[in-house]
């Protein structure tokens, strides 16, 4: 079976997912992509360039697989001589309807930003099959999509969301978690807290650092490794933390080499998460796979990642509860370091999940 995968934003987790899917799948997959930058322009104009490349491709696919940053309606209109008879599946890593905006984006949201949510809806409507990377993502898309459509003056078409829901299903993110295994180490020193997310507003770093400042003020001994990708503009709290936690920070910034990143994740003891956005939680899964003790908020996808039996210890409902659990996990570090639930997260490893992907894709063309 032949698949063409259309990825307008070929960077980060999108790039990893696409290249790993191609590597592990039993099907032949060709990737058409654009560099992962200028995301708004990718959603608006990327379909034109990608359609041109698809039309010039010397490859006859059985299935067209696109991701959420593609304006699928534009793409299909420009490729109908080749794509009109192809089944089309769309995989949502994220969506712009449920994505939180910065505090200063209210005006933009009214005048400009809403268009990207409409691209997501129209693309999902045009696809034959719609795939989400978590149950939370699928449900939030429905809720926010309905809210979005109800804002318009007439012909709101709320039944659109029912049409999308009927052809939607959850296909969890595949990840190459096995590549972490060879970097496992057992040397542990001071309790090490981990941040391994993007340095952006939607990851909500302020309460994370406020809790660390309080730990320091309370005389609690700890170290912190600040990993993850940062961009031209990052929340100012990172610079504040760099100064206030200069004796606690053991790493500050993106790891250029995967080996360095993997070693830090294995060395880490505790992962306090405060994010306002996570449709799956890849960095969180990586950490938990590497035996890092998670403290996760009772929102987004996080309760879905852990079995109910672990919620009492690892899911918090307030930042006061987060601080108390964080402090307790540091003071009882030997007990904290017993956390090992790799078998739970192994389900996302490509070697275990790829058959579900391949079988599902085959069902789309049968």
Are the C-beta atoms of residues 18 and 10 closer than 8 Å to each other?
A: yes
Q: Domain check: are 330 and 223 in the same one?
A: yes
Q: Domain check: are 115 and 153 in the same one?
A: yes
φ, ψ at 225 (rounded to 5°): -110, 120
- In 57-126, which ranges are continuous DSSP H helix? 72-78, 80-83, 106-108, 114-126
What's the CATH number where 185 sits?
3.40.50.2000
- The two tokens of residue 276 are 């306002």
Complete DSSP assignment for 210-235: HHHHHHHHTT---EEEE-S---SS--
Burial of 192 (0-12, 13-18, 19+ CB in 10 A): buried
Q: Domain check: are 181 and 59 in the same one?
A: no
Q: Domain check: are 116 and 246 in the same one?
A: no
3-state class (DSSP) for residue 125: helix
Q: Which domain holds residue 267?
A: 177-347
Q: How much is the pLDDT for 105?
A: 54
Residue of 278, 279, 305 lying closest to 292 (CA atoms): 305
Q: How much is the pLDDT for 205?
A: 96
Q: How much is the pLDDT for 184?
A: 93
Q: How much is the pLDDT for 106?
A: 52
Q: Domain check: are 324 and 236 in the same one?
A: yes
Q: Domain check: are 144 and 216 in the same one?
A: no
Q: Domain check: are 317 and 236 in the same one?
A: yes
- How is the beta sheet containing 129-132 ordered, strand by strand? 28-35, 2-10, 63-67, 88-92, 129-132, 168-170
HSE-up (13 A, CA, CB side) for residue 16: 14
Q: How much is the pLDDT for 14?
A: 95
- Intervals of the chain under pLDDT 70: 101-113, 187
Q: Domain check: are 191 and 332 in the same one?
A: yes
Q: Domain check: are 311 and 184 in the same one?
A: yes
> What is the Cα–Cα distance from 68 to 49, expressed in whole angstroms?
16
Q: Domain check: are 342 and 279 in the same one?
A: yes
This model's pTM is above 0.75: yes
Q: Domain check: are 191 and 339 in the same one?
A: yes
Q: Domain check: are 127 and 206 in the same one?
A: no
- Model pLDDT for residues 161-180, shown as the tens digit of each residue: 999 999 999 999 999 999 99
Helices (H) and strands (E) in the chain, counts: 18, 12
Q: How much is the pLDDT for 110?
A: 52
State how many domains the chain has.
Answer: 2
Burial 252-267 (b: 16+ CB within 10 A, else e): beebeeeeebbbbbbb
């Amino acid at each position: 079976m032949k698949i063409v995968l259309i990825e307008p934003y070929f960077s980060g987790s999108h790039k990893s997912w696409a290249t790993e899917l191609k590597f592990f799948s039993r099907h032949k997959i060709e990737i058409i992509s654009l560099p992962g930058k200028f995301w708004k322009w990718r959603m608006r104009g990327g379909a034109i360039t990608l359609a041109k490349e698809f039309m010039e491709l010397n490859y006859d696919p059985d299935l067209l697989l696109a991701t959420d940053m593609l304006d699928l309606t534009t793409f299909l209109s420009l490729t109908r001589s080749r794509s009109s008879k192809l089944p089309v599946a769309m995989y949502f890593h994220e969506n712009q309807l449920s994505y939180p905006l910065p505090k200063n984006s209210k005006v933009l949201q009214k005048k400009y930003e809403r268009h990207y949510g409409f691209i997501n809806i129209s693309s999902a409507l045009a696809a034959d099959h719609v795939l989400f990377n978590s149950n939370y993502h699928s449900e939030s898309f429905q809720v926010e999509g309905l809210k979005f459509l109800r804002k318009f003056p007439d012909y709101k078409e709320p039944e659109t969301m029912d049409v999308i829901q009927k052809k939607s299903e959850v296909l969890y993110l595949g990840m190459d978690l096995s590549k972490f295994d060879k970097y496992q180490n057992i040397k542990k020193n001071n309790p090490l807290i981990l941040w391994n997310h993007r340095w952006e507003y939607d990851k909500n770093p302020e309460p994370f650092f406020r809790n660390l400042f309080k730990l320091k003020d309370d005389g609690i001994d700890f170290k912190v490794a600040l990993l993850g990708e940062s961009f031209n503009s990052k929340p100012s709290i990172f610079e504040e933390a760099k100064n206030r936690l200069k004796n606690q920070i053991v790493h500050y910034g993106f790891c250029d080499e995967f080996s360095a990143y993997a070693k830090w994740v294995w060395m880490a003891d505790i992962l306090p998460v405060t994010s306002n956005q996570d449709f799956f939680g890849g960095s969180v899964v990586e950490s938990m796979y590497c035996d890092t003790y998670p403290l996760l908020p009772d929102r987004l996808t996080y309760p879905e990642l852990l079995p109910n039996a672990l919620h009492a210890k690892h899911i918090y409902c307030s930042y006061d509860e987060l601080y108390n659990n964080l402090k307790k996990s540091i003071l009882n570090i030997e007990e904290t370091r017993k956390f090992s639930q790799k078998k739970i997260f192994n389900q996302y490893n490509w070697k275990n999940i790829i058959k579900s992907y391949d079988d599902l894709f085959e069902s789309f063309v049968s």
